[in-house]
Structure 1
Amino acid sequence: MTDDMAPAGWYPQDDGRQRYWDGQAWTDHFAPGAQEQSDGSGAVHVDEDAIWQVRGKPLSGMGAGRYKLTEHYLFFETGTLRTDSQQIPIAKVTDVDVKQSMSQKARGVGNILVHVERQQGTETVTMADVPNFREGQRLINETAHEARRTLQQHANTMRYEHSGGPQAPVDPSHARPTTDSAEANGPTLDPIEQLERLGKLRDAGVVTDEEFEAKKAEILSRI
C-alpha cells in the first residue's frame, strides 16, 4: 500500500517511531515513546544489555509493542497516543506460553503469555504479535530459570553464613583457649559482601525494601 492510498493514521517509521499520515501527506506529529535507533536499513538497533529485543507487528500497524529481555528484567512498552511501560524482575517469571491465531499464523507472528508471580497471585502479561515468538519463549524461560537458580544460591549462601556454617568436631588434644568470640563462632563474615548479596535480592524483588533495611541494620550492627 502506497502513502497516497493509506487512510489517515499513525504509521511506523524506519527509526521505530510512529508518524501521523493525514490521508494526503505526512505531518510533523510523532507518537510519544522511546525512540529506537536504526542503521538506515530498517533494522532496529539492539541495546547492548539486551539478550533479546523485538517490536510487535500488529495487523493495523499501529500501537506496536516494544519488548526487551535482559539478565535481570523483562521490559514492556505499549501504546500509540499514550505509552505504558513496565519492567518485570525476570526471576518473578514462573512460566511462559505461546498462542497463535489463524490470522497471526498467516503473518508469521504470535503472542507470548508471560506468567508473573505477584504478591496477590499470578498475573499473565501478553506480548502481542511478536515475530520469532517461539525463540522469545525459549529465551525468557531460560533466563528466568537461571535468575531463580542464582537467587536461590545467594539465599542459601546468606543463610549458611548467618548460621556460621557446619562446625567440624574439635579434637580436645588440639583445642586451645580463645577469647575471640568471632573466632569461637566460626569464620568472620564479610559485611560488605553480605550487603551486596542482599542488595541483589532486593533488586530482583525477592526481598522487600523493609526486609532489606532490617537485615542491613542487623549486618551493620555487627561491624
Structure 2
Amino acid sequence: MADASWLPDPTGAHELRYWNGSTWTEHVSDQGTPGHDALTTELPPPADAFPPPPTSPPAGAEPAQAAPAGKVSWRDRLKQVADQGRAMADQGKQKLAEQNAKRTEQWANDPNTLWFGESKNAATSAAGISKARYRITKDRVWIESGLLGTRTESVPLWSIKDMDVRIAVWQQGKDVGDVVLTLEDPSYGATQDMFNVSGTIEGTTSGQVVLDNVESPYAVMDILSPLISEARQKKTMERQSTYVHTMTPTMPYGAPPPQAAPTQPAAAPQVDMVEQLRKLGELRDAGILTEEEFAAQKAKVLGG
C-alpha cells in the first residue's frame, strides 16, 4: 500500500488529491491552492509508482479518518456557513448603501433643503453607509438614525436657544466635528427610549441635540444662526399675540381700544301739576298772589 502523500486526483476533477495511506481524502490542490471536495464514490488505491509530493500534507489532515462517501465533513460545512454569512452581510451593506444614496438624492432635489449631511465614521463610511443623516430646512432640523431601521426626528428651530461646535482629539485635522444644539425645552432632546406608552417623559434629558461627526461644523453653525434668530423672533411675536388675545378676546390684536359712548344729560324731574295748582291756591289764599297773578300762573301750569 502506498504511503500518505499528494497524488494525481484519480477523479480528474483536480490536479492533486491527498492519499492518507489507506484511503483518498477530501483534500485537493489546484496550482498550489488547497481546497476541499468530498468524494461521492469509493476510488481504487493508487499504483506503486508515484510522483514526488509537491507540498507537505494539508494542515489538520487526519490519516485513516476520511469522511464517509456521500457526506460533507464538518470543516466543509463550517466553511459553507461562513461564506453564506459573508454573502448576506455584503448584500445587507449594498442595500443600505443604495437606500442612503436614494435618500441623499431626494434631499438634494428638495427645494426646502438648505443643508444635509451625515455622521462620518471610519467603519460605516468605508462601507458606504452612515448611522445618522441630518437635514436643515427653513424651520426645522431633521435627524434620521439607525442602520437596520430608520427613525426620523425633528427639532423646531425656535426651540434652539444656543449652539456650539465640539471637536474631539480624533476629529482634529479632518474638518469634522459635532454641532451641539441646546434646546429651550429639554423634552425636545429626549430619545425614543425615554417615553412610555402614555407619551410622558420618563427620567431626565440633557436638553441637547448633537449632529455628530459632520463635515465643516462651523459652516453648519453659520447656516443655522440666522435661521434660528428669525424663527425665535417669529415665535416671540406669536406668543405675544396669543397673550393679547387671551387677555382681551373680543378686541383684535393691534386695534385701538373702543371709545366710550357719550353720556346723555339726565332728564329733569317732572313736577306734579296738581301739586303746583295746590301751592298756587295757598299763595292766593294767603294774600301773596292777587287773583290776576293766580290766574296767570294757573294758565302757565295748565298750558305746560
- Scaled by the length of structure 1, what TM-score is found? 0.54
Deviation, 1:89, is: 1.6
Question: Relative contact order: is structure 1 or structure 2 higher (C-alpha 8 Å, sep ≥ 6)?
Answer: 1
Equivalent of 2:91, from 27, 30, 53?
Answer: 27
Give the direction of change, closer, same or farther, for the CA distance of 1:49–1:100 in structure 2 (3 Å limit).
same
Residue in 2 that maps onto 1:96: 163
Aligned ranges 1:112-127 → 2 under 5 Å: 112-116=179-183, 117-119=185-187, 123-127=207-211
Deviation, 1:166, is: 6.7
Deviation, 1:80, is: 1.8
Q: Deviations 1:38-81 (Å, cap 9, x if unpaired)?
A: 49xxxx72521112211222122253421011122111112222
Give the direction of change, closer, same or farther, for the CA distance of 1:129–1:92 in structure 2 (3 Å limit).
same
Give the direction of change, closer, same or farther, for the CA distance of 1:93–1:85 in structure 2 (3 Å limit).
same
Q: Distance in 1 between matches of 2:120 and 2:229?
A: 28
Query: CA RMSD of the aligned region, Å?
Result: 3.5
Equivalent of 1:51, from 91, 114, 123?
Answer: 114
Aligned ranges 1:1-223 → 2 under 5 Å: 22=86, 27=91, 29-31=94-96, 35-38=102-105, 45-60=108-123, 61=125, 62-116=129-183, 117-119=185-187, 123-161=207-245, 163=248, 164=251, 165=254, 167=256, 170=259
Identity of aligned residues (%): 17
Q: Distance in 1 between matches of 2:140 and 2:167?
A: 25
Q: Deviations 1:183-202 (Å, cap 9, x if unpaired)?
A: xxxxxxxxxxxxxxxxxxxx
Q: Deviations 1:73-121 (Å, cap 9, x if unpaired)?
A: 1111122223332111221112111111232123221111111223566
Give the direction of change, closer, same or farther, for the CA distance of 1:141–1:171 in structure 2 (3 Å limit).
same
2:134/2:142 contact within 8 Å kept: yes
Q: Distance in 2 between matches of 1:121 and 1:161?
A: 33
Give the direction of change, closer, same or farther, for the CA distance of 1:26–1:110 in structure 2 (3 Å limit).
same
Structure with a larger share of its residues in strand: 1
1:68/1:76 contact within 8 Å kept: yes
- Scaled by the length of structure 2, what TM-score is found? 0.41
The one-letter amino acid of 2:179's match is I
Residue in 1 that maps onto 2:9: none
